[in-house]
């Protein structure tokens, strides 16, 4: 960790990517958030990473975030706003920011962009992601073992690579336990709408699913599963509060460790894809009664 911080500061000074005169060698880092920081899921975990970054680097950096930025062309304005405010490193933290980020990146070659989970890159725009499918595989194994009805319910957000790979991993894993297992998939077509996520969970349970998985961001599905006495998996962050006897385990996105190395724009090959890898995709298994942490 320390090493990467030193590398960051040294790298930046050597590369001269910020003018020495301005801002007293403070690197300004901007974040574009999809949801509110209190969503208890995806954005919340990114916010924790931002806080970790601030804690690590102290007054060497200055961070700003914009929350509730809708995906799509309109995000361009928000990203550009961060550029104009003098941010030299910008994290665009959701898949749907890919094209807008690329557009802004081409316009401002001196600013570095880190985009989450996409596939388009530029010399000054990299991708970061995590090996979620590994966690999903483990969830698939657990779900198939725990399911009595042989029907699993899966709430998807959007049919994009990170979600589809997770569903595939779940099904492949579940089939190794029970070849006849059924996985019912409902696409919510939103990342965050507690009411709709709850409705999707109700529909899946009403159709016979007894283990609910989700790739959406609020704990609504967990809460419904808890109300109906079914089992569920948390998403992005710990959701055990919403189903103390319901949550089997939770995929935990710990961005902290990846955010720091990613903040070295000049010391790693620019434009290269990154996976969070070993450190960050920690699957915290709150397998009752003793919590254990598996690392993928």
Residues 232-291 that bind another protein (CB under 8 A): 241-242
We find the least distance from the C-beta atom of residue 189 to another protein, in angstroms, to be 4
What token pair was written down for 29?
């880092």
Query: How many Cβ atoms are within 10 Å of 222's Cβ, its own excluded?
Result: 28
CA distance 169 to 182: 14
Question: ∠ CA(143), CA(208), CA(214), 5° rounding?
Answer: 50
Q: What is the largest CA-CA distance in the chain?
A: 66
Residues 2-31 that bind another protein (CB under 8 A): none
Which position among 199, 266, 267, 270 is part of the footprint of another protein (CB under 8 A)? 199
> Would you give the DSSP letter of residue 26?
P
We find the least distance from the C-beta atom of residue 70 to another protein, in angstroms, to be 11
| Unique residue bearing structure tokens 């290269």 | 272
If one asks whether residue 143 binds another protein (CB under 8 A), the answer comes out as: no
Q: Which is nearer to another protein, 61 or 188 (CB)?
A: 188
We find the least distance from the C-beta atom of residue 278 to another protein, in angstroms, to be 29
If one asks whether residue 192 binds another protein (CB under 8 A), the answer comes out as: yes
If one asks whether residue 296 binds another protein (CB under 8 A), the answer comes out as: no
Which position among 25, 80, 99, 193 is part of the footprint of another protein (CB under 8 A)? 193
If one asks whether residue 292 binds another protein (CB under 8 A), the answer comes out as: no
- H-only helix segments in the chain: 2-15, 42-57, 75-84, 98-107, 132-146, 161-177, 194-206, 220-227, 256-262, 277-280
If one asks whether residue 99 binds another protein (CB under 8 A), the answer comes out as: no
* Region near another protein per CB under 8 A, out of 12-20, 36-44, 75-83, 89-97: 36-44
CA distance 155 to 224: 13
If one asks whether residue 204 binds another protein (CB under 8 A), the answer comes out as: yes
We find the least distance from the C-beta atom of residue 209 to another protein, in angstroms, to be 8
Which position among 36, 72, 73, 273 is part of the footprint of another protein (CB under 8 A)? 36
Query: CA 230: distance to chain centroid?
Result: 25
If one asks whether residue 185 binds another protein (CB under 8 A), the answer comes out as: yes
Alpha-carbon torsion angle 133, 139, 141, 142, nearest 10? 170
Q: Which is nearer to another protein, 91 or 242 (CB)?
A: 242
If one asks whether residue 218 binds another protein (CB under 8 A), the answer comes out as: yes
Q: Are 209 and 231 in contact (CB under 8 A)?
A: no
* Region near another protein per CB under 8 A, out of 75-83, 113-121, 203-211, 254-262: 203-211
Q: Are 184 and 151 in contact (CB under 8 A)?
A: yes
* Region near another protein per CB under 8 A, out of 16-24, 82-90, 112-120, 197-205: 197-205
Query: Angle of helix 75-84 relative to helix 98-107, nearest 10 degrees?
Result: 40
Q: How many residues contact another protein, by CB under 8 A? A: 38
Query: CA 285: distance to chain centroid?
Result: 18
We find the least distance from the C-beta atom of residue 31 to another protein, in angstroms, to be 16
Closest Cα partner for 73 from 93, 101, 94? 101
Q: Site residues (CB under 8 A) for another protein? A: 35-40, 68, 153, 156, 159, 184-190, 192-196, 198-200, 202-204, 206-207, 218-220, 223-224, 227, 241-242
């Amino acid at each position: 960790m320390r090493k990467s911080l030193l590398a960051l500061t040294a790298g930046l000074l050597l590369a001269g990517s910020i003018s020495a005169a301005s801002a007293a060698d403070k690197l300004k880092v901007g974040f574009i958030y999809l949801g509110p920081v209190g969503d208890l899921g995806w954005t919340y975990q990114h916010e924790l990473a931002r806080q970790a970054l601030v804690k690590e680097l102290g007054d060497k950096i200055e961070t700003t975030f914009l929350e509730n930025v809708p995906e799509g062309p309109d995000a361009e304005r928000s990203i550009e706003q961060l550029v104009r405010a003098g941010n030299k490193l910008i994290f665009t933290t959701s898949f749907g920011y890919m094209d807008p980020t690329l557009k802004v990146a081409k316009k401002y070659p001196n600013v570095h962009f880190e985009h989450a989970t996409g596939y388009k890159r530029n010399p000054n725009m990299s991708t970061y992601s995590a090996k979620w499918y590994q966690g999903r595989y483990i969830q698939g194994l657990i779900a198939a073992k725990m399911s009595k009805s042989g029907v699993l319910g899966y709430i998807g957000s959007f049919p994009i690579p990170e979600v589809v790979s997770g569903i595939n991993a779940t099904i492949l894993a579940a089939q190794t336990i029970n070849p006849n297992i059924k996985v019912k998939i409902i696409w919510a077509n939103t990342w965050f709408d507690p009411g709709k996520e709850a409705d999707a969970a109700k529909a899946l349970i009403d159709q016979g699913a007894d283990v609910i998985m989700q790739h959406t961001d609020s704990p609504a599905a967990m809460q419904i599963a808890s109300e109906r006495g079914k089992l569920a998996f948390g998403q992005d962050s710990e959701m055990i509060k919403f189903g103390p006897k319901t949550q089997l385990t939770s995929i935990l996105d710990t961005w902290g460790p990846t955010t720091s190395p990613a903040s070295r724009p000049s010391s790693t090959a620019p434009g290269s894809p990154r996976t969070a890898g070993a450190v960050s995709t920690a699957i915290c298994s709150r397998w009752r009664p003793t919590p254990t942490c598996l690392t993928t």
